[in-house]
Copies of this chain bind each other. A is one copy, B any other.
Amino acid sequence: MSSPAVQRAAAFCEQFGLRCPVIMAPMAGSSPVALASAVASGGGMGACGVLAMSPEQIAGWAAGFRAAGGGPLQMNTWVPDPPPARDADHEQRVRDFLGRFGPAVPSAAGDAQPQNFDLQMEAMIEAEPAAISSIMGVFPEQWVRRLQRRGIRWLAVATTVREAQAAEAAGADAIVAQGMEAGGHRGAFRAERAESELVGLFALVPAIAEAVKVPVIATGGIGDPKTAAAALVLGASAVQVGTALLRCPEAKLNEHWAEALAQRPWPEDTAATRAFSGRLGRSLRTAYVQAAEAPDAPRPAPYPVQRGLTKPMQSAATSVDTVMAWAGQAARLAQDRPAKEVVEDIWSGAREILEPGCKL
């Protein structure tokens, strides 16, 4: 007799054309074609975080992915926030603070502009991935209709139950329930609520599964068979994995970041911080992150100003201490193994846990 959790995952796989209910997280800046391709070849869904990419770069990435064999793919960008309020005096204090960790920060660094959202959406739709995902809000209605007309699924990241309900009402095909454990940016619809509405995956997945009818994809803290099995038991139909893939050879990670992950950090060695981009995200608790937490450190500027201001420090980094070293609370699960094997083993191991003694 098959377990209900395994049946639910199998139905999701059939719906999305997967062999494994394992989805790569769309990590902007850390989604090389080779990694997405390896995940897809393992039966999961590859991913590309296009946040920092121009329309031409998006098209080029997609062409490379198809040339490498293609397969199920998710692409992702952020729903834009309103333009930030600028404060020259405050930015000066942030620049002075950052100058203690890297080169002097030119005042123009804060003028960084995000890519054009509409042009990115056009480029992603042209690339025809299986799914396009939202984070930091829901897609405007006209884009939801465009996705539907092209048969592209909309995966909506939610960090609370009410965000999940809003996304379902707007037409999302599945909810990505992002626990507070997740590495990288937290997808709170309202930036200012990101810290006060931190919800653990353990509470979030069953609550969202109860509140919506569409499938739930769990993310944050997942990277091995045990964590995948637990997420399916809690009500998820699939899991999304980010940090656990970063040591795979296909990830081609910054060497300082990869070495720090190889030290197998405990959950408390990560921190939710705005210090890199102005938007809350979870990274290793590096020297810079710790300094930025101190009461006398200047508050980070809003996104994308802070992102621009921290670029010089990151570009000059000679150790992990000033790298934007995103990592989730289960970072210790990242292994130096081919991504294809990681994906396959997560699912075969999870099945064995949920149906002990059953033949796979």
Which of B2, B160, B222, B230 lies in contact with A267, CB distance below 8 A? Answer: B160
Task: Tell yes or no: A152 within 8 A of B by CB.
Answer: no
The answer to whether B226 touches A206 (Cβ under 8 A) is: yes
Which of B2, B207, B220 lies in contact with A356, CB distance below 8 A? Answer: B2
Kindly provide the distance from the CB of A298 to the nearest chain B CB, expressed in whole angstroms. 16
Task: Tell yes or no: A201 within 8 A of B by CB.
Answer: yes
- Give per-residue flags for A207-226: 1 if the beta carbon is below 8 A from chain B beta carbons, else 0: 10011000000001110101
The answer to whether B233 touches A267 (Cβ under 8 A) is: no
The answer to whether B162 touches A3 (Cβ under 8 A) is: no
- Give per-residue flags for A270-307: 1 if the beta carbon is below 8 A from chain B beta carbons, else 0: 01100000000000000000000100000000000000
Known: A203-B329, A332-B207. A161 touches B266 (CB 8 A): yes
Task: Tell yes or no: A357 within 8 A of B by CB.
Answer: yes
Q: Which of chain B's residues have a CB closer than 8 A to the CB of A162? A: 266, 268
Count of chain A residues with a beta carbon within 8 Å of a chain B beta carbon:
51
Task: Tell yes or no: A253 within 8 A of B by CB.
Answer: no
Kindly provide the distance from the CB of A243 to the nearest chain B CB, expressed in whole angstroms. 11
Report the bound CA distance from A179 to B230 in whole Å.
15
Which of B197, B199, B235, B267 lies in contact with A207, CB distance below 8 A? Answer: B267
The answer to whether A197 touches B230 (Cβ under 8 A) is: no
Task: Tell yes or no: A234 within 8 A of B by CB.
Answer: yes
The answer to whether A220 touches B200 (Cβ under 8 A) is: yes
The answer to whether B206 touches A180 (Cβ under 8 A) is: no
Which of B181, B202, B329, B332 lies in contact with A220, CB distance below 8 A? Answer: B202
Q: Residue on B with the closest CB to A268?
A: B160
Report the bound CA distance from A234 to B202 in whole Å.
11
Task: Tell yes or no: A109 within 8 A of B by CB.
Answer: no
Which of B198, B220, B233, B267 lies in contact with A353, CB distance below 8 A? Answer: B233
The answer to whether A207 touches B266 (Cβ under 8 A) is: yes
Interface hits, A1-43 → B, CB 8 Å: 1-5
Q: Which of chain B's residues have a CB closer than 8 A to the CB of A45? A: none
Task: Tell yes or no: A345 within 8 A of B by CB.
Answer: no
Task: Tell yes or no: A75 within 8 A of B by CB.
Answer: no
Which of B180, B234, B266 lies in contact with A180, CB distance below 8 A? Answer: B180
Task: Tell yes or no: A173 within 8 A of B by CB.
Answer: no
Which of B4, B5, B196, B226 lies in contact with A271, CB distance below 8 A? Answer: B196
Q: Residue on B with the closest CB to A271?
A: B196
Q: Which of chain B's residues have a CB closer than 8 A to the CB of A355? A: 356
Which of B1, B235, B293 lies in contact with A357, CB distance below 8 A? Answer: B1
Task: Tell yes or no: A54 within 8 A of B by CB.
Answer: no
- Among A5, A206, A231, A332: residue with most chain B CB under 10 A: A206
Report the bound CA distance from A1 to B211 in whole Å.
35
Kindly provide the distance from the CB of A10 to the nearest chain B CB, expressed in whole angstroms. 14
Interface hits, A317-360 → B, CB 8 Å: 328-330, 332, 353-357
Kindly provide the distance from the CB of A216 to the nearest chain B CB, expressed in whole angstroms. 13
The 5 closest A-B pairs by CB, nearest first: A203-B329, A200-B200, A1-B357, A202-B221, A230-B230
Given contacts A160-B266, A181-B200, A202-B220, 7 further A-B contacts (CB under 8 A): A162-B266, A199-B268, A203-B328, A207-B329, A227-B234, A229-B233, A354-B356
Q: Which residues of A contact B (CB under 8 A)?
A: 1-5, 160-162, 179-181, 196-204, 206-207, 210-211, 220-222, 224, 226-227, 229-231, 233-235, 266-268, 271-272, 293, 328-330, 332, 353-357
